[in-house]
Each structure stands twice: as C-alpha cells, then as structure tokens.
Structure 1
Amino acid sequence: MSDYAVVDPATGETVAEYDTFTDAQIDEAVARAASGFAAWSALPADERAAGLRRVAALHRERRESLASTIVREMGKPFAAALGEVDFSADIIEYYADNAGVVTADQPLDILGEGTAVIRRSPLGVLLGIMPWNFPAYQVARFAAPNLANGNAIVLKHAPQCPESAAALEEIFRDAGLPDGAYVNVYATNEQSAAIIADPRVQGVSVTGSERAGSAVAALAGQHLKKVALELGGSDPFIVLSADDLDAVVRAAVDARLDNNGQACNGAKRFIVVDGLYEEFLARFASAMGAAKVGHPLDEDTVLGPLSSLAAAERLQAQIDRAVEQGATLVVGGQRSGAYFPGTVLTDVTPEMDVYREELFGPAGVVHRVADEEEAVRLANDTPFGLGSYVFTTDAEQAQRVADRLEAGMVYVNVVLADSPELPFGGVKRSGTSRELGLLAADEFVNKKLIRVG
C-alpha cells in the first residue's frame, strides 16, 4: 500500500491510494512555489485578500464534499467535519479582512530627527507539515495568514489525508491564485528534509507530535531556517467552585470529547477541589460513559472511531499500563477495533507514565486537590503548556490562577471558544509559535526597519 492512502477507520477499508512524489516532482513543486511567490508577493494586499475571499467561498460551496472526505480519512462525526470546514472558511475570511492590517507599516517614535518605520514583507516559500486530526482547519490557520502576507506555500499533509490535500489544492487553484502560490506535495520524511534544506525555502511550520517537532526543528536549525512549532498538550481543567455543577460537567465532557478526543488543546487532566470532587467525578464519569459511540455518519454519534486502528491500540496500551501501575479505571477503557469509549481514570500519581503523557483520545484523568495552591501546582506539573481551563465563581481567583498557569492559553468558565482572531499556541514542549489572530501573521515576515534622517 502507498504511504499516502485513505483508510476509513470506521471500516478498515482502503478507499484510495495516492503515489508518493518522485524527487523530480518534489523539485518541480518547489520551483513552482518559487515562481508563484514572485507573482503572488507582487500583488497589492487587497488583491491577495480578494483571492483569499474566493478560497473561503469555495470552502463553503464545497463544504459537504470536503467534510465527507474528512470523515473517511480520520473518522470524526459528519456534523463536526462540517463545523471544521465552516471554521476554516471563517479563518481565511479573517485574514482576507485583515490583509491590509498585517501588511501595514508600523511607524516608530524615535529619539532623533527624521522618521522610522517597520515594514513587513514576506519571506518567500514556506513548507507546512500538517497533521491528520483537523485536515482542513490546520491548513487554513497556517496558509491563510502567510498567503495574506505574500508568502507562497508548499503543503505536506499527513499521509492519511491525501484526498483532503488534493481537494484543498484544487480550491486554491480554482480561486485563481497564481500557479505555485499554494502547492501540495505527497512527500516522504526524507523528501521533507530535502525541502527544508532547499535554499528556495525560507521557513517551515509543523503541527504534530513532540517527536516530529523536535526532528523538524533540528533540521531547520541546521539550515538556519525559521521554524514554527505547534505540538502536543495535556491541558488542565481546573474546578475550584461552581454555582451549576451540571454545566461545569457538560463543559468538561465537551472539552474532552471534541474531535473524538483527538485535539491537542483538549482538556485531559481534570483537577477538582476536594469539596466538589466526589460529585464531579460521579457526574463526569456517567456522562463520559454515556457518550454514544457509533458510525461517524449517524446523526446521534458523539464518538466516531479514532483516526486509525493503530491510534486506538496506542490509547489502549496507555490505559492498560496506567491500570497496571495502580490507576483506577472508573469507566470505559476497552476499545472495539478503532472505536474507543469515553474513559475516566483516577488515583493517578507522579510515578505513573500516564501522569505526564498525552492521552490522544476520549480518555481523561480526574485528580483531587485540597485548594487553589495545590491545583495550580498540579496543573503546571507537566512537560506541556498549551491550553488550560479554569472554572470558578470568583473573578479575582480566576485572574490570579490564570496569571500563574504555565500555558499559552487560559479559558475561564468557557470551552470550545476558539475564534479566528484569538491566538493559538503554547510554551514548554507544546511549541514555540502562535497561529490564528494577528500574531500568526508575524511569524514568517521580514520586519524591516527603514530609518530616514
């Protein structure tokens, strides 16, 4: 079987296969991107914005087809796949609306006479290495701000998402962008390394695992290329007080089961003060266990299959090892093929592997803590630092805890609140950069000083 293949995780059937590019095809793709950059970057910002609006419109026009492809590739429920395509269109439109803002000169107050400005200009051809868990959204949040700036994109998608990769390249082409402004490649890891080394390529962005991020960062550093990393997470969900515990539990379940539990910023560690712990655990475990597991095209399905049989087997191994090491399995914990039920662990201690691992699937760990101080200490006791969630009725406490959390994002009394204008990213082993919002548009630009005496 080809490295690039669509294997429906709901059935195990190989739906389609795509040929990996030859080295000659890779070289031709980079050459096209270099030529496309020259044409695309020469356009005024408002013309690039118009092109991006056409890209967003085509996402909406083809939303059902693209969503169906996403379901086949990674198994998320169809309604969630439709939501992903819609959000992708929103993101692209946001950067179309703000293309003039992100490319505008930034005047500086100077001590001497004359003027000084920071002028932002594109770097050139960028390589994007994208994951499988959000086949359209991940591409939109990388490509849109960088295209708005005038960069050109070479996109290497996950090997299990070749159909989405082809459909997205077709959208950018049909939107009338210059040939080469957005180029899809079916590349091996070795070929990706060669693209990073290519002098025509000026930067690389990777969303994926710690291992992938570390490997790409090492290559980028070796070749003195700008790199942006969006990696894993084990986000804490801290419950300190509640007027409506049922609402908090619903938020906790939503934050854990979104995208079949396969979101890097999904809540994975639930840290609950002693006075609410027993009641929270009982309601949370009940709701997790009741989440309907079924075919992703069924309307009442909450949890479709994980992205692959291998993904389900990895999660099963983590759960089994946690129980062997002394954790308590409260509910779930037994896969059926690639399907995995809502799962809850308790009694997890720092000596266990699962204490510092990321559970990439519909499984969470519930911890009991005495107070705010212990909650913050436990929340920060992780190699990750992506997102975090704080639920409290005390506004001052919310701000105090938010300030102390070692994370790139803190959401207070709200979940699933991502939006195109809000920056996304983390610290520690969760990454080095920001996507979405205006900050994303500053990752791959030359901030050139122009000083006039």
Structure 2
Amino acid sequence: MNLENKLAAAQKSFEKWKNVSVQERQKLLLQLAKQLEKNKDKLAKNITREMNKPISQAIAEIEKCALMTNYYATAKNILQPEKIETEFRLSEIHYVPKGVILGVMPWNFPFWQALRFAVPAILSGNTVVLKHASICFGSGNLIEKLFREAGFPKGVFQNLEIGHAEVKKVLEHPAVQGVSLTGSEKAGAEVASIAGKNIKKSLLELGGSDAFIILDDAQFKKAAENGAKARLQNCGQACNAGKRFIIQKNIEEKFLPLFIKEYQKYVPGNPMKKETNLSGMARPDLADELEKQYEKALKFGAEIILPLKRLSDTELQPGLIKVKAGNPILQEELFGPLGMIMIAKDDKHAVELANDIPFGLSNSVWTKDKKRQKFFIENLESGTVSINKISSSDPRLPFGGAKSSGYGTELSMLALKEFVNLKTVIGN
C-alpha cells in the first residue's frame, strides 16, 4: 500500500474509531498488553538485532511497554464530558479526538518510544501513523502486527516505511492533525516548524544532559551504583540518562573512587547474552560522533579520569572526564558511554551548574535532608526531579521537559488530553 493509501486508510478508520467507546478501546488495549507479554522474548531479540541493546534490557523494555499499556487499559475514563457549575442548564466540556496523528520516533527504545506515544493517542480516539528510525522498521512492523493481533481495526495503527524527506509530506497532508516527535533538538525544531506553518499540534520530547547530584549526606554506595547505571544502561543512549555527575567538593575524594569502581563494571559484551550489561552503540557513525565530542571536551580543558577507547566499529570502553563550567561540550548532549564529572562548592553552586545548560529534562539528587531536597525540587529547571533514585519514566506520572528538552506531556492520564480538541457545550 502506498503512502497516500495508508493515510486515506488512517482517516477512514478514524471516522469509525472515534465513535467506539473508551471502554471498548480499553478492552483491546488489554489484549495488546497480553500480546506484548506473551511475545516478549521474540520482540526483544528483534530490538537487539536492530539497535544492539543488551537482551536483558530489551526484555525489560517490552515488559515496561506491557505495564504501560495495561495501565491505560484499566484507567478511569477521564475523557467523558465534564460538567461545569454555571447558571446555565447545560454547561460541559467535551474531549474530541483530533484525527490522524503522526509519530516520529527514534531507535534507542524502539518499542517503548513508539507505544508510549501511540497507546494514549489511540485510547483518546485518534488513529496513528508511525515514522520509525530507518534501522527500526522491523520494530515498527511488529508493533503494527501486534495491534492487529490484539483485535484493533485495520488502520488504527500503521507503520510507514518512509525517510525523513517524506515526513514533511505526511505532516502537510490534510488527514494528519498533529505530530509527536522524540529525537534531537534539530529534528524537533524542523518538525515543529512544519506543524506550526500548517496549524497542527506538535508534542516534542527532545534531548537532555541530566545532572546526577551527589551531596555529602547521600548514601554513597547506592548513589555510585545507580550513577553508573544511569549513565551506561542502553550504552548511554537515553535522553534522560545521567550525563553530568555533580559531586559536592568535600566528598570528591571519598565518592569518586566508589563511582569509578562501579563504572568499570560495565564492559562491552555479546548483546544476546543475558549477563551482558553493555554492548556496542546502535550505529558506527554514532560512535564516531561521540569520539569527536570527547576530543572537543579535552581540547577545551576537560581532564581524563577514564579514557574513552574505541574497541570496534560500535563498541566503546566507557569514558569519564572532569569538566569545568564554560566548556562548550556542556551545551551539547552526549549520547553514548561518556560521563562528565563536575565539582560543586555547595548546594547553591550545584543548582547553578545543573541549570547552566540549554536542556531541562530530568535531574537526580542524592541527599537525606528534606530541606535540601525541597531546595533542589524548587530550583532545578527540569520536567522531572528524582530524589535518591535514578531518573526514569513511569506510566502513572507525566513525562516531559523544560527549555530545549521540548514541550507537551507523555505518560500519565494527562497524556490522554494531548491530542484532543476541547469542545464547550453551553445552553438552557
């Protein structure tokens, strides 16, 4: 089926799907969650083949997709008309699905990113067309097959095997009413500008350079273990990975050796073995780019703690560098196994360092003191602040960024209202 026919099919399906009750849609989502759980090993192997993720992490990704889908399948219906108290007999807000929504999704979490967008959009009564990363067309096709096997009508979810050049054409198509993009700042700006010119809704989840802040009253061992995982799971290829480790000056000598020890436990191995905790990057060019950023950081004064070493076309021995404020590398996102250490004099300085970047996705703070926790919660410029835990998304809670990390909400019940029109109904 060509692109025009697929978009026509999505529009035709929407005309019927929008009239299906939320309860009936949820029944199908329950079936989708079961399909994900039932086929998780097969689906995970596909992820690992496509983008090199260690198989244990690929299985965890599918399990999280099933958990999220089940959450929406069993959630209370917040889309029913909302009655507002006024002097009028009839005074309501209705939530009306927009239509066909385009998802432009990345390769780093091939199932999670696509389903995180698609499930709430579809539950809200929209139909979805997916433009996946070129190395993940197999995942896109498998997701479409899962929707069909779960009993969803044809055309509710379709995978489009198209390149970046065709995204503009899809977004300009009259059937398409909005777009959700997860990706780079540059890609987000391009897609948002096309959506804006065509007066269509856009939701952007873009890059991050998240701070992982360790204060002098933190649990050092737990912080060190979680810090290494925060930087190196998925080979460091996550928007909300811990990337800048801001350590309070008076604990540098005590904490840094613990962190280095945990960091060195991540050694590239065969991604198909369950014990492997680190594999190669998704593509050789991504490893090339990270090496260039490493050299740039060093050129502007960064100190090597652990050297970043190229082991093969995609494999890198994880690196750690000590970076001071003003290094231009801090204005970029490091997507891969390279962490940055920064030293803060006190809490105020730690907040200044954490906020002094273009991004604002999520930050993690390690302190037992509730007053200190409150200070960081109130002053960090990010969509999420995690206290004494690794930054991660949770289906029950909203996920999104501030500043150049994008706008709009994914996950939680709030996501159900991202791609709907509010219709006011009023009268006597």
Any idea what SS the aligned residue of 2:152 has? coil
Q: How many residues align?
A: 427
CA distance in 2, matches of 1:265, 1:417: 7
Deviations 1:230-280 (A, max 9, x none): 000000111123353111111111111121111100110111111112222
CA RMSD of aligned residues (A): 1.3
> What one-letter code is carried by the residue in structure 1 that aligns with 2:321?
L
For the Cα contact (< 8 Å) 2:98–2:421, is it kept in 1?
A: yes
Matched, 1:75 2:52: yes
Pair 1:109-2:85 in alignment: yes
Q: Tell me the CA shift for residue 353 of structure 1.
A: 2.4
Matches within 5 A, 1:52-91: 52-91=29-68
Which residue type is aligned with residue 140 of structure 1? L
Q: Deviations over 1:312-358 (max 9, x none)?
A: 111111111211221111113112220112211103331x2212211
Give the stretch that moved more between structures: 48-57 or 228-237.
48-57
Instruction: Determine the C-alpha separation between the residues in 1 that align with 2:74 and 2:155.
Output: 23
Residue pair 1:303, 1:341 contacting (<8 A) in 2 also: no
State the Cα deviation string for residues 215-243 of structure 1 (Å, max 9, x = none).
00010011010000000000011112335
2:373 counterpart SS class:
helix
Contact 2:242 2:391 in 1 (8 A): no
Determine which of 343, 347, 350 is the counterpart of 2:323.
347
Q: What 5-or-longer segments of structure 2 have no aligned partner?
A: none
Determine the C-alpha separation between the residues in 2 that align with 1:234 and 1:243. Answer: 22
Amino acid at match of 2:228: V
Equivalent residues of 1:39, 1:178 under 8 A apart: no
**Residue 376 in 1 paired to residue 322 in 2?**
no
Contact 1:241 1:393 in 2 (8 A): no
Give TM-score, length-normalised by structure 1: 0.92
Q: State the TM-score, normalized to the length of structure 2.
A: 0.97
**Contact 2:364 2:391 survives alignment (8 Å):** no
Question: Over residues 407-437 of structure 1, what are the superposed CA-to-partner deviations in whole Å (9 max), with x where a residue is unaligned?
Answer: 0010001115432111111011001111000
The 3-state SS of whatever aligns with 2:384 is coil
Contact 2:47 2:58 in 1 (8 A): yes
Per the alignment, residue 168 of structure 1 pairs with 143
Select 2:164's aligned residue among 175, 186, 189. 189
Aligned counterpart, 1:50: 27
Matched, 1:392 2:367: yes
Cα deviation per residue 1:99-135 (whole Å; 9 max; x = unaligned)? x52312222233x343422111110000000100000
Contact preservation (8 Å) 1:230, 1:426: yes
Deviations along 1:131-173, one digit per CA (max 9) or x if unpaired, are 0000000111101001111100011110010111111111111
CA deviations on 1:54-99 (whole Å, 9 max, x unpaired) are 111111111111100000111111010000001011111111112x
Tell me if the contact between 2:214 and 2:248 (Cα under 8 Å) persists in the aligned partners: yes
Q: Which residue of 2 aligns with 1:21?
A: none
1:436 is aligned with what amino acid?
Answer: L
Letter in 2 for 1:415: I
Describe the SS at the equivalent of 1:329: strand
Rounded to whole Å, the distance in 2 between the matches of 1:402 and 1:342 is: 30
Alpha-carbon separation, structure 2, partners of 1:398 and 1:176: 47
Task: Please identify runs of 4+ aligned residues in structure 1 that moved more than 3 A.
Answer: none
Alignment partner of 1:102: what SS? Answer: coil
Q: In 2 relative to 1, CA 204–417 (structure 1 residues): closer, same or farther, beyond 3 Å?
A: closer
In structure 1, C-alpha distance between the alignment counterparts of 2:85 and 2:317, rounded to whole Å: 58
| Matching residue within 105, 108, 132 for 1:133 | 108
Please give the per-residue CA displacement for 1:23-59, whole angstroms capped at 9, x wherever unaligned: x711011001001111211111111111111111111
Is 1:292 paired with 2:264? no
Matched, 1:271 2:246: yes
Report if the CA contact (8 A) 1:237-1:270 is conserved: yes
Q: Percent identity?
A: 37
Q: Is the 8 A contact 1:234 1:385 kept in 2?
A: yes
1:250 counterpart letter in structure 2: E
Specify which of 327, 332, 338 is matched with residue 314 of structure 2.
338
SS at match of 1:204: strand
Within the candidate set 71, 78, 92, 1:94 is matched to 71
Q: What amino acid is the match of 2:17?
A: W
Give 5+ residue unaligned stretches, structure 1: 1-23
- Look up the SS of the partner of 1:389 in the other structure: strand
Partner residue of 1:13?
Answer: none
Q: Is the 8 A contact 1:242 1:248 kept in 2?
A: no
Partner of residue 190, structure 2: 215
What's 2:401 paired with?
Answer: 426
The residue that corresponds to 1:444 in the other structure is: 419
Partner-residue secondary structure (3-state), 2:342: strand
Where 2:399 maps in the other structure, the secondary structure is: coil
